[in-house]
């Protein structure tokens, strides 16, 4: 029994097989109970003390089997299999000492075959049936009784061993093949997804990068046009990179980039945007995107700067966006209405629980800091 394999990882199918083992154990004890009742009714002067000790002892062992089955590896251990076999043999031999001959052989010993089949395979199960066969045959020798039911009962152990052992092995084999097929299908599916993504990326690079390079070759002596084409391509590449990195169907970063592109196209100004945080769009983040759009428009219209810097990040409880320019600045106390800051930015954010801080001076330009709580 030292060579009995003990799995370190229990597959889902083992849960089903364990339930079958426990069902065999319950049915075996119920069968034993019926045989005790039958023995008391048909056998003259059986030893009641031995019968009751055997009946309640087997009941306690059945309860113990259920308790130890909480850790499936223990049921598979050689120690439990051997101990279970000893208990089964004690139960089987109790009938002879009680004077009821072999009437108590049957379901409870067969439940041990299920335990062995669960712990190992059909070979060990047949080996366990040999032990039960020899035990019953020795019992018949001691009792001096070789009735046909006793002999058939001894042979039945082999039949059950083959059925149970083969059944458990077949279930495991089919489950292994199913899991192998599912794993292979998952690998094929993943490869197909990667292939489709590669094709999509190749198409995108062909439609954008190659066409852009071709356009630059057409007008190599027009720096303004070349700069415009390169900027357009830069924007597309950034969108592609953010899209490939994002795990969300409706990402916050994509909305921010779309707002940036709209302002760049409308006012012909360069906006350098960096986003280190991404999540699914919400009502609150939609309000933050629109407030950011207004801040970029204000900077494009009034700052006099040729570059706007935008940075968005995710803090512990908030999402924050900074819009900064190095323009001429303004007096926030007297110019908020003219710049549309009060209604377009501050109040818009306040309605969703957010805040806006404006820092502006002629020496450093303007910085608008906007925050909204996560989850709104």
Q: In the prediction, which pLDDT does 233 show?
A: 63
The verdict on residue 159 lying in a domain is: yes
Number of residues written out for the chain? 376
Domain termination site, one of 184, 203, 226: 184
Nearest CA-CA partner of 89 in 124, 46, 41, 54: 54
Specify whether 176 is located in the same domain as 254.
Answer: no
The verdict on residue 234 lying in a domain is: no
Specify whether 147 is located in the same domain as 264.
Answer: no
Q: What CATH number should be reported for the domain holding residue 314?
A: 3.30.565.10
The verdict on residue 219 lying in a domain is: no
Place of tokens 């320019």: 325
Q: 278 by DSSP, 3-state: which?
A: coil
The verdict on residue 217 lying in a domain is: no
Specify whether 162 is located in the same domain as 18.
Answer: yes
Measured CA distances, 129 to 88, 285, 327, 368 (Å): 12, 70, 92, 83
Given the DSSP bridges, would you call strands 318-325 and 307-314 parallel, antiparallel or unpaired? antiparallel
Nearest CA-CA partner of 311 in 371, 361, 362: 371
Domain termination site, one of 116, 149, 184: 184
Specify whether 50 is located in the same domain as 139.
Answer: yes
Nearest CA-CA partner of 102 in 81, 133, 127: 133
Specify whether 137 is located in the same domain as 250.
Answer: no
Token pair of 232 as six digits: 């357009």
Q: 89 by DSSP, 3-state: which?
A: helix
| CA–CA distance, 279 with 374 (Å, rounded to integer) | 10
Specify whether 21 is located in the same domain as 150.
Answer: yes
Specify whether 82 is located in the same domain as 172.
Answer: yes
Domain termination site, one of 162, 184, 206: 184
First to last CA, the chain: 63
Specify whether 171 is located in the same domain as 244.
Answer: no
The verdict on residue 347 lying in a domain is: yes
Specify whether 168 is located in the same domain as 250.
Answer: no
Specify whether 171 is located in the same domain as 32.
Answer: yes
Domain count, the chain: 2
| CA–CA distance, 153 with 352 (Å, rounded to integer) | 80
| CA–CA distance, 12 with 10 (Å, rounded to integer) | 7
- Domain that residue 157 falls in: 12-184
Q: In the prediction, which pLDDT does 309 show?
A: 94
β-bridge partners, 270: 307
Q: Are the C-beta atoms of residues 257 and 242 closer than 8 Å to each other?
A: yes
Q: In the prediction, which pLDDT does 134 show?
A: 87
318-325 β-sheet, strand order: 270-275, 307-314, 318-325, 365-373, 355-361
Q: 312 by DSSP, 3-state: which?
A: strand
pLDDT per residue, tens digit, the chain (376 aa), is 444 444 444 568 888 999 999 999 999 899 888 877 877 777 565 677 888 888 899 999 999 999 999 888 899 999 999 999 999 988 888 777 766 655 555 678 889 999 999 999 999 999 999 998 888 888 777 666 666 666 777 788 888 899 999 999 999 999 989 888 989 998 988 888 888 777 766 666 655 565 566 556 666 666 765 666 566 666 666 666 666 665 667 788 888 988 888 888 888 888 888 888 888 889 899 999 999 999 999 888 888 888 999 999 988 899 999 999 988 887 766 654 545 677 778 888 998 999 999 888 877 889 999 999 998 8
Q: In the prediction, which pLDDT does 95 show?
A: 73
User: Which residue stretches of 316-371 are H helix?
Assistant: 332-339, 341, 348-350
Q: In the prediction, which pLDDT does 7 show?
A: 42
Specify whether 178 is located in the same domain as 248.
Answer: no
β-bridge partners, 314: 319
The verdict on residue 207 lying in a domain is: no
Q: Are the C-beta atoms of residues 360 and 329 closer than 8 Å to each other?
A: yes
The verdict on residue 353 lying in a domain is: yes
The verdict on residue 173 lying in a domain is: yes
Specify whether 174 is located in the same domain as 245.
Answer: no
């Amino acid at each position: 029994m030292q060579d009995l394999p003990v799995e370190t990882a229990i597959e889902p199918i083992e849960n089903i097989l364990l339930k079958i083992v426990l069902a065999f154990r319950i049915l075996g004890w119920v069968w034993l109970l019926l045989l005790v009742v039958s023995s008391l009714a048909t056998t003259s002067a059986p030893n009641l003390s031995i019968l009751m000790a055997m009946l309640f002892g087997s009941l306690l062992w059945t309860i113990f089997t259920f308790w130890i089955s909480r850790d499936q590896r223990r049921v598979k251990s050689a120690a439990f299999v051997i101990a279970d076999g000893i208990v089964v043999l004690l139960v089987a031999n109790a009938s002879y000492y009680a004077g009821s001959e072999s009437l108590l052989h049957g379901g409870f010993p067969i439940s041990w075959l299920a335990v062995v089949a669960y712990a190992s395979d059909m070979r060990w199960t047949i080996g366990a049936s040999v032990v039960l066969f020899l035990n019953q045959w020795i019992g018949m020798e001691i009792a001096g009784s070789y009735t046909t039911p006793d002999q058939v009962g001894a042979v039945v152990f082999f039949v059950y061993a083959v059925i149970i052992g083969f059944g458990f092995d077949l279930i495991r084999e089919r489950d292994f093949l199913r899991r192998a097929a599912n794993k292979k299908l998952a690998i094929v599916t993943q490869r197909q997804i990667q292939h489709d993504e590669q094709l999509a990326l190749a198409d995108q690079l062909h439609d954008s990068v190659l066409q852009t390079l071709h356009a630059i070759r057409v007008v190599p002596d027009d720096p303004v046009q070349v700069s415009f084409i390169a900027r357009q391509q830069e924007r597309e590449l950034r969108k592609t990179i953010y899209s490939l990195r994002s795990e969300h169907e409706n990402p916050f970063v994509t909305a921010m980039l779309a707002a940036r592109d709209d302002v760049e196209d409308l006012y012909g100004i360069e906006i350098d945007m960096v986003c280190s945080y991404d999540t699914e769009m919400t009502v609150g983040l939609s309000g933050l995107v629109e407030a950011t759009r207004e801040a970029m428009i204000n900077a494009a219209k009034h700052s006099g700067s040729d570059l706007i810097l935008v940075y968005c990040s995710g803090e512990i409880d908030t999402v924050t966006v900074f819009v900064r320019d190095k323009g001429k600045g303004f007096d926030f106390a007297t110019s908020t209405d003219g710049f549309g800051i009060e209604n377009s930015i501050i109040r818009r954010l306040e309605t969703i629980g957010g805040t806006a801080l404006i820092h502006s001076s002629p020496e450093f330009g303007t910085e608008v800091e906007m925050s909204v709580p996560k989850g709104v």
